[in-house]
Amino acid sequence: MRIKKINTYHVRSDLAEPFGFSQFYYTQRENLLIEIVCDSGVAGWGECYGPARPIQETIHNHIEPMVLDANPFDSELIWHSLWQRYLDHARHGTFMAAISGIDIALWDLKGQLTGQPLYRLLGGTAVDQVSCYATGHYFRKAPEDIVLKTIIAEASQHVALGFSALKLKIGKNPAFDHKAIGAVRNQFPDLILMADANHAYHLNEAVRIGRTLDEYNYTFFEEPIAPHHYTDFAKLRAKLDLAIATGECEQTRYGFRTLVESGGVDILQPDLAFCGGISEGLKIRALADSFGISVTPHAWGTWIGFAAALHFHATAPSNPGRHENQLCFLECDNSENPVKDTAFAEKIEIRNGCAVLPQGPGLGVRVDKSVLRQFMV
């Protein structure tokens, strides 16, 4: 059993309406999908999170020559061979994003070859579905009173779909953020609410925003400050009651070790399509567990990345553990994504705010190549 081909699909789609967060506005969605084909013709799919073109070039110019003819079951060996070969130059960034997509595709391929769902290859689970929080609620290019009305209207749609947990985007500006935090809570007094600033604040701003989040009983404060200001996370955490969550910009167990040792994080959010893949995600989770820190993956891409996060999340041990069920929500991105919406023949079922764990082999999703090719760059 040998790997014979790696196909990449750089896809791009225009949005019907631009939407933004604290850093910039999107007018398009862009993804890089990976298909690894073995000599029997069976294929596995992966996804990379990050700038598609340089990741694609990394795969074909550097990774593909090292992976061809390898045994697809040797995913750990492949990961470490790539890591060691480029250790001097590419421990972070697009190269690790490329490894991440390759690793996800290998796990999917192993599931396809064995006929087993990914969660079983990862050790099994006692659940058949995972509770999700709805991500969306982005900013629109409109006056702020209209932006707030749009956010509340979108949140109402998510509640109607059965979501009991929502994540609000903040970081537009402090005055708007304080107002939005209170308005959303007053509109939905019984929901579980989180807030994501996408590293928009200085420490002193984050403290003031965090106290407002505490006042309105939000569950966690995501990416309050820049990801490289490790020591500021501990300073912030000492002043607030709600959990601090971060990690989507971090990579590998070594990067996460620095984050964890800062003492300022309660919830780690590795993106499996960026942090090093499923193989590295397992190591990051073990590291977090040794510090008593929870892990819930960041997932903002197509159904491939979401499926990887779902299987990974479903196999997580309860931390710290108790007899009654502990809800640890998985991110479910509901913003516009034409590739995700149209280019999959089999998707993950979202039922009443929960992601149903697929029972088919591998990731349990299937790409419609005829549709996918319509979006290729």
- pLDDT, tens only, 234-263: 999 999 999 999 999 999 999 999 999 999
Q: What is the pLDDT of residue 343?
A: 98
228: CB partners within 8 A, 6+ apart: none
pLDDT of residue 321: 77
84 contact partners, CB below 8 Å, separation of at least 6: none
Q: What is the pLDDT of residue 367?
A: 98
Question: pLDDT value at position 166?
Answer: 98
199 is catalytic: no
Q: Which residue has tokens 């919830």? A: 267
Q: What is the mean pLDDT of residues 196-217?
A: 98
CA distance 197 to 201: 8
53 pLDDT tier (thresholds 50, 70, 90): very high
**At residue 121, does pLDDT exceed 80?**
yes
Could you report the per-residue pLDDT of 322-374, keeping only the tens digit for each?
777 766 799 999 999 999 999 999 999 999 999 999 999 999 999 999 999 99
* Per-residue pLDDT at 2: 97
- Any residues with CB less than 8 A from the CB of 120 and at least 6 apart, and which? none
Beta strand 3-20 with 330-333 is unpaired
Could you tell me if 355 and 163 are in contact, meaning their C-beta atoms sit under 8 angstroms apart? no
pLDDT confidence of 83, banded at 50, 70, 90? very high
User: 246 and 230 in contact (C-beta within 8 Å)?
Assistant: no
**Residue closest to 50 by CA, chosen among 84, 99, 1:** 99
Q: Which neighbouring-strand residues pair with 208? A: none
- Sequence length of the chain is 377
Local confidence band at 19 (pLDDT 50, 70, 90 cut-offs):
very high
Q: Phi, psi at residue 187, to the nearest 5°?
A: -75, -30
What is the per-residue pLDDT for 324? 76
Helix, strand, coil percentages in the chain from 3-state DSSP, rounded to 5 = 40, 25, 35
pLDDT at 320: 79
What is the reported pLDDT for 89? 86
Average pLDDT over residues 173-190: 98
pLDDT of residue 318: 80
- Which listed residue (137, 178, 199, 298) is catalytic? 298
Give pLDDT, residue 143: 97
Confidence band, pLDDT 50/70/90 cuts, at residue 68: very high
pTM of the complete model: 0.97
Which domains are delineated in the chain? 3-115 (3.30.390.10), 120-369 (3.20.20.120)
Angstrom distance (rounded) from CA 58 to CA 270: 21
| Backbone phi and psi for residue 362, each to the nearest 5 degrees, phi listed first | 65, -135
265 within 8 A of 237, measured Cβ to Cβ: yes
Percent residues over pLDDT 70 in the chain = 99
Q: Within 10 A of 172 (CB to CB), how many other CB atoms are there?
A: 19
3-class secondary-structure state, position 241: coil
**What 3-state DSSP class applies to 344?**
strand
Position 187 pLDDT exceeds 90: yes
